[in-house]
Structure 1
Amino acid sequence: MMKMILNTNLNDTARLHALQPTDAEDIFRAIDSQRDYLGKWLPFVEFTRSVEDSVQFVTEALELPEDKKEHLFAIRVNDSFAGLIGFKDTDRMNRKTEIGYWLCEPYQGKGIMTAAVKALCDFAFQELNMNRIQIKCAVGNEPSKRIPRRLGFTFEGIERDGELLTGGIYTDIEVYSLLKLDVAPQ
Structure 2
Amino acid sequence: FTTSAQYCEPTTEDVLGPFYKPDTSKNDHICMRYQNHTFLPKITMTGHIKNVDCEPVNGVKVEIWQTDDEGKYHNDQTCRGYVVSENNGSFSFETIHPGRYKLGDHFRPSHIHMLFTKPGYHNLITQIYFEGDQYLGENDGCPPAICHSDDQRRIIGLKKVLSSKNFEGTFEVVLENRI
TM tier relative to shorter chain = 0.3 to 0.5
Identify, as 1 or 2, the structure richer in helix: 1
